Homo-oligomer: A and B are copies of this chain.
Amino acid sequence: MADNLPNCKQRGVKVANAGSIFSEDVADAAVGLLIDVLRRVSAANRFVKAGLWPQNGDYPLGHKLSGRRVGIVGMGSIGLDVAKRLDAFGCIILYTSRNNKPHVKFPFYPNIQELAAKCEILVICCALTDQTRHMVDKSVMLALGRDGIIVNIARGAIINEKDLVECLLKQEIAGVGLDVFEDEPNVPEELFELDNVVMTPHHAVMTEESMRNLYELVVGNLDAFFSNKPLMFEVMQV
């Protein structure tokens, strides 16, 4: 997409994106996946629905979210929305991003290894670029540690999925919540049986409401274009 911008400019094609209308839904999904992994919601739900509670007694305890150290990877509009939510849970928020952002009150770490070493949870919210491809690899997972949890609602290829499967199988991290995968819709089958893995089919941005908002945005921008008015969320083409 970004590659075509000069081309669009040359031909006089106006380009707009969806602004931040998806950020809230993605941030909500990130928090939902995180609580699910830590507190074992999906796994406990399977347990109850299989009728095992009267038979087997109590389900194993989960882990506390409140007070935990969470590293946000990528502090754009989604990262900010995730941070705002987890701050209200009493989490301690740290972040990494291309640059230290003076308007962000949380401590900045220049690289993801350092960030991972300082926290127990990583929430991946950055764009997929040449720099971020496979950025979350085995070294980052080992820095995060055995109690570590990763949530990815960004793009699958930001994580080295082979390393991830290996660390999960060797219990070198504690669990993951994944909305995105390297080769969608194909998901590594090794993850199917693991209770500490919660997966959704790349629908963190998707709610009936966000789809309606997107539709309204597109129609509004077509109206604006044909009335020679400025577009909403027009992408600056340099």
- Chain B, Cβ-Cβ closest to A209: B64
Find residues 1-47 in chain A having any chain B CB closer than 8 Å to their own CB. Answer: 24-25, 27-29, 31-33, 35-36, 39-42, 44-47
Which one of A48-56, A130-138, A223-231 is at the interface? A48-56
**A167 on the interface (CB 8 Å rule)?**
no
Contact yes or no, A31 B31, CB < 8 A: yes
- Chain B, Cβ-Cβ closest to A178: B48
Q: How far is the CB of A195 from chain B (nearest CB, A)?
A: 10
Which one of A98-106, A110-118, A183-191 is at the interface? A183-191
Contact yes or no, A62 B201, CB < 8 A: no
Checking B36, B67, B88, B210 against A88 with a beta-carbon cut-off of 8 angstroms, the contacting residue is B88
* Bitwise interface map of A from 54 to 84 toward B, beta carbon under 8 Å scored 1, else 0: 1001110111111100000000000000001
Checking B31, B61, B67 against A211 with a beta-carbon cut-off of 8 angstroms, the contacting residue is B61
Contact yes or no, A42 B45, CB < 8 A: yes
How far does the alpha carbon of A45 sit from the alpha carbon of B49 in the complex, in Å?
A: 14
How far does the alpha carbon of A70 sit from the alpha carbon of B210 in the complex, in Å?
A: 19
Contact yes or no, A210 B64, CB < 8 A: yes
**A200 on the interface (CB 8 Å rule)?**
yes
How far does the alpha carbon of A192 sit from the alpha carbon of B42 in the complex, in Å?
A: 13
**Interface range on chain A: under 10, 10 to 19, 20 to 34, or 35 or more?**
35 or more
* Bitwise interface map of A from 192 to 213 toward B, beta carbon under 8 Å scored 1, else 0: 1100001111010011111100
**A87 on the interface (CB 8 Å rule)?**
yes
**A146 on the interface (CB 8 Å rule)?**
no
- Please indicate the chain B residues that have their CB under 8 angstroms from the CB of A85 in the complex: 85, 88-89
Q: List 27 A-B contacts (CB under 8 A).
A: A24-B64, A25-B66, A28-B66, A29-B39, A31-B89, A32-B35, A32-B41, A33-B41, A39-B207, A41-B200, A42-B42, A42-B45, A44-B201, A44-B203, A45-B200, A48-B200, A49-B192, A49-B199, A51-B189, A53-B184, A53-B187, A53-B201, A61-B208, A62-B207, A64-B208, A85-B88, A85-B89
User: Which residues from chain A sit less than 8 Å from chain B, CB to CB?
Assistant: 24-25, 27-29, 31-33, 35-36, 39-42, 44-49, 51, 53-54, 57-59, 61-67, 84-85, 87-90, 184-187, 189, 191-193, 198-201, 203, 206-211
